[in-house]
């Protein structure tokens, strides 16, 4: 094993993070190669800096005027240069401040500095690299973002174990989670992925359900299980009901138990409405982890980033830094939230029309971008195809029994028509 990896492993020795690392994770380190040497040169090479693989002219990155003309307000360095492997430091600090302000119960708890990745997908893959060995089990609710299968099963050769997301009262099925953690998962290591607001259902736990969930994880940890929880917070903040728990479960787990490592994967993708920018973050928290140990985890994550995408988009980071420091940033985000909430309220009203329908019924939803219908006596795919081919309406079928509607994509004025069409189609097919 490379010397630098051994040093990082030594720093982590005795922590939950060390116990959970995969073989690949144990081997990761951030080399003192080109990136580290050019960072050093940036400081000390006062005459000529001939380190990094870029082209400069009179101290500024060379570039095409045809590109520059469209972003006149950014400096050349903000547009064209490489970003550091872990992301622009200022951006990482701003994001950390924002995480704390959106999750006040994190105040006073330790976390790593967030590491910038190329979108949440890349964040999840990176964590999978660090912590999953072939054959490991990953626990997720049975309503999940389909890409998890490709990431965990196909790519990482792990085994996905699901538990029913809802109980018979339409609440988060924490009892099923507990049963899965205690009976189904063999061995010490547990990897759990939580995604609230959930894709595809659009459900987030109530305050009480969040507390139950956390108690269950604490119990598992107290019984000697070594638990890593990834909170996929892609749709964070889009909570529309008073009773909903409004922070990330990550905030509750951050200092819960020595046997729990919490990993927050979040990003600008949906939170800042920049889907194609490809900017996400990974943040670690664990009860007794020290600053030095957080740094060791960040170094390992940088090794994973360096060996996959090398670094994330610089122009996207620069634009987001400028936006986050802009005086109207919070107001603009609030206004986007209000538009989505109005759509949610309209859909809530519309789904009342489905109450007496025996063929399609809405699953509980209270947050995020989506709601899902449970389709009975028919295949969801047949309903989807009918809507698409006969009515010109695109939806997503999930497995054989569910139809997901991204009402976030439809203007409020069109929502009534859309839901009337779905109702009619369900009766017709």
Ligand X SMILES: Cc1ncc(COP(=O)(O)O)c(C=O)c1O
Binding site for ligand X (CB under 6 A): 119-121, 145, 195, 199, 232, 234, 267, 269, 280
What is the nearest approach in angstroms of ligand X to the Cβ of residue 120? 4
Q: Which is nearer to ligand X, 180 or 269 (CB)?
A: 269
Closest alpha carbon to 194 in 214, 179, 175: 214
Q: How far is the CB of 179 from ligand X (least distance, A)?
A: 24
Of the pair 18, 120, the CB lying nearest ligand X is at 120
What is the closest distance, in whole angstroms, from the C-beta atom of residue 336 to ligand X in the complex?
17
Which residue, 85 or 195, is less far from ligand X as judged by CB?
A: 195
Report the run of H or E that residue 402 belongs to, with start and end. strand 402-405
Q: 269 or 318: whose CB is closer to ligand X?
A: 269
CB crowding 322-337: b at 16 or more within 10 Å, else e? ebbeeeeeeeebeeee
Least distance (Å) between residue 145 CB and ligand X: 4
**Alpha-carbon separation of residue 170 from 26, 54, 71, 203, 367 (angstroms):** 41, 56, 49, 10, 15
CB of 364: closest distance to ligand X in angstroms? 17
Closer residue to ligand X, CB minimum distance, 145 or 419: 145
Q: How far is the CB of 316 from ligand X (least distance, A)?
A: 11
Pairing of strands 260-267, 189-194: unpaired
Tally the C-alpha atoms within 13 A of residue 196's C-alpha that lie toward its C-beta: 24
Nearer to ligand X, 259 or 283 (CB): 283
Q: Which residues does 414 contact at the CB level (< 8 Å), separation at least 6?
A: none
User: Exposed, middle or buried, 218 (CB in 10 Å: 0-12/13-18/19+)?
Assistant: middle
Helices 314-324 and 89-102 pack at an angle, to 10 degrees, of 50
What is the spatial distance between Cα 381 and Cα 375, in angstroms, rounded to a whole number? 10
62: phi > 0 → left, psi -120 to 50 → alpha, else beta; which? beta
Nearer to ligand X by Cβ, of 212 and 232: the residue is 232
Nearest distance from residue 49's CB to ligand X, in Å? 33
Report, in Å, the least distance between residue 5 CB and ligand X: 28
- Report how far Cα 420 is from the mean position of its chain's Cα atoms: 33
- Which of 28, 27, 21 has its CA nearest to residue 299? 28
Contacts of 242 (CB under 8 A, 6+ apart): none
Cβ proximity to ligand X: between 269 and 372 the closer is 269
Q: How far is the CB of 55 from ligand X (least distance, A)?
A: 30
Hey, is 62 helix, strand or coil? coil
Nearer to ligand X, 257 or 384 (CB): 384
Angle at CA of residue 252, ends 334 and 340, nearest 5°:
20
């Amino acid at each position: 094993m490379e010397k630098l990896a051994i040093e990082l492993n030594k720093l982590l020795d005795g922590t939950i993070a060390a116990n959970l690392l995969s073989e690949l994770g144990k081997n990761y380190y951030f080399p003192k190669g080109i990136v580290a040497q050019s960072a050093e040169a940036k400081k000390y090479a006062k005459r000529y800096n001939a380190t990094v693989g870029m082209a400069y002219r009179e101290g500024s990155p060379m570039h095409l005027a045809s590109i520059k003309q469209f972003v006149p307000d950014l400096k050349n360095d903000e547009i064209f240069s490489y970003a550091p492997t872990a992301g622009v430091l200022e951006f990482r600090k701003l994001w950390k401040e924002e995480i704390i302000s959106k999750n006040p119960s994190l105040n006073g708890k330790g976390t790593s500095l967030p590491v910038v990745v190329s979108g949440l997908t890349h964040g999840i893959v990176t964590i999978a690299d660090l912590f999953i060995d072939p054959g490991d089990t990953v626990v997720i609710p049975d309503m999940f973002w389909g890409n998890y299968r490709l990431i965990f099963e196909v790519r990482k050769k792990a085994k996905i174990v699901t538990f029913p997301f809802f109980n018979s009262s339409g609440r988060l099925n924490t009892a099923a989670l507990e049963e899965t953690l205690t009976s189904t998962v063999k061995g010490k290591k547990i990897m759990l992925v939580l995604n609230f607001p959930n894709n595809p259902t659009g459900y987030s736990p109530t305050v009480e359900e969040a507390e139950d969930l956390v108690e269950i994880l604490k119990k598992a940890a107290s019984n000697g299980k070594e638990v890593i929880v990834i909170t996929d917070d892609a749709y964070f903040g889009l909570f529309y009901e008073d009773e909903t728990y409004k922070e990330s479960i990550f905030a509750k787990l951050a200092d819960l138990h020595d046997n729990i490592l919490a990993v927050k994967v979040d990003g600008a993708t949906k939170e800042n409405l920049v889907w194609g920018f490809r900017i996400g973050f990974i943040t670690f928290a664990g009860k007794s982890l020290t600053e030095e140990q957080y740094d060791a985890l960040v170094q390992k994550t940088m090794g994973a980033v360096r060996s996959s995408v090398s670094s994330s988009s610089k122009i996207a980071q620069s634009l987001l830094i400028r936006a986050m420091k802009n005086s109207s940033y919070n107001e603009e985000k609030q206004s986007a939230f209000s538009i989505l909430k109005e759509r949610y309220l309209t859909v809530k009203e519309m789904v009342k029309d489905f109450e007496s329908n025996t063929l399609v019924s809405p699953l509980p939803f209270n947050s995020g971008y989506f709601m899902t219908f449970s389709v009975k006596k028919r295949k969801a795919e047949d309903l989807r195809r009918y809507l698409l081919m006969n009515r010109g309406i695109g939806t997503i079928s999930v497995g054989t029994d569910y139809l997901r509607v991204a009402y976030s994509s439809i203007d409020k004025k069109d929502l009534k028509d859309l839901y009337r069409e779905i109702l009619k189609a369900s009766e017709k097919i």
